[in-house]
Amino acid sequence: MNKLIYDFALWVDGHASSTSLHESFYMYNWVESTHVLALMISLGMLFLIDLRMLGFALPGVPASTIARRLSVPMIFGFTVMFATGLLLFYAIPVRTSQSLWFRIKLVLLVAAALNAFLFHRRMLSAPTGWDHQIKAPRNLRVGAALSLLFWALIVVCGRFIAYDWFDCQRDPSPLVGLLAGCLDGQTVF
Residues of this chain that bind another protein (CB under 8 A): 25, 29, 32-33, 36-37, 39-41, 43-48, 51, 56-61, 65-66, 69-70, 73, 152, 155-156, 158-160, 162-163, 165
Shortest distance (Å) from residue 147 CB to another protein: 13
Rounded to whole angstroms, the Cα distance separating 126 from 124 reads: 6
Rounded to whole angstroms, the Cα distance separating 140 from 28 reads: 39
Shortest distance (Å) from residue 75 CB to another protein: 14
Shortest distance (Å) from residue 43 CB to another protein: 4
Rounded to whole angstroms, the Cα distance separating 94 from 184 reads: 15
Of 19 and 29, which CB lies nearer to another protein in the complex structure?
Answer: 29
Quick one: which of 9, 2, 50 has its CA closest to 150? 50
Of 70 and 182, which CB lies nearer to another protein in the complex structure?
Answer: 70
Shortest distance (Å) from residue 179 CB to another protein: 18
